[in-house]
Amino acid sequence: MPLTPEQQAEIAAARADARVTSRAISPGMEAWLHRAIPVLDHGLIRVVDYMGDDAAIVQAARVSYGQGTKTARDDAGLIRYLMRHWHSTPFEMCEIKLHVKLPVFVARQWIRHRTANVNEYSARYSILDREFYIPAPEHLAAQSRVNNQGRGELLAGAEAARVLAILREDSGRAYDHYEAMLSQDGQAGLARELARMNLPMNVYTQWYWKVDLHNLFHFLRLRADAHAQYEIRAYAEALCEVVKDWVPAAWDAFEDYRLNAVQFSGKGMEALRRMLKGETVTREDVGMSAGEWREFEGALLSNV
């Protein structure tokens, strides 16, 4: 478990401190509260707090003081309508606050989602731990030949072993130098805010991340996608399991209309209509570029 004994004791104390509340709670989320979910080799996601549930989405949509409509089916139907027609505000009524431990290079991707509140562990004031992300062999791949920001075939044999050895050696050496620069044994010691600049991108950082459900769904739509980089996708997939239990009706709608759905352009719809009429259609017939046509065909065959 990638937690210190102090963190484990803090979490155990928080879980044991059950309190009576008058606010609405989600039984599914209560089971996840304060529980550390391991991700990658040293990372984690932990739910620190949350607000709202499926009923909060329905209540906001109807601007009422009640508990939604008369039946769960009616509530689920309304949530599906909201998702289907891209109504975002009701989903913003739910929020979640997470404690996340992640490699710096993953954090740099994650922070691109600028619709959240973030407070990161400060290496200006504190000393980072000697923890680095080292990929498992099954995630050590060569550069893709067709995608400049993707992976291709797995590395194997001597090359894979050489790359892993370099990663471990460079990470350890960088941290040794970090400690040496900070040391005040016989020297003044370099300021922490300067010593940190020598650390590699695979060192672990931590932050608190608070976001509403609408923007969380946007994050998951992009980062839980099969085309997302594996390391951030691992966090997104772990978070998907939490959201399923937190707002099950909203999750079902999101999974149906966002995760498992595809979108076609006007030219794509023209091609589809002509195909359904039995016509043979080429990309030139509908004026698509080679890239557009490749993506169009991929969308058609994605679930075949």
Task: Catalogue the active-site residues.
Answer: 223
Contact status, residue 25 vs residue 53, Cβ threshold 8 Å = yes
Contacts of residue 225, Cβ cutoff 8 Å, sequence gap at least 6: 233, 259
The helix (H) or strand (E) run that includes residue 88 is: none
Contacts of residue 161, Cβ cutoff 8 Å, sequence gap at least 6: none
- Rounded to whole angstroms, what are the CA distances from 196 to 127, 238, 247? 8, 29, 40
Q: 93 is written with which tokens?
A: 């009524």
Contacts of residue 199, Cβ cutoff 8 Å, sequence gap at least 6: 104, 123, 128, 174, 175, 178
Residue 49 β-bridge partners: 97
Contacts of residue 184, Cβ cutoff 8 Å, sequence gap at least 6: none
Q: 152 is written with which tokens?
A: 């291709």
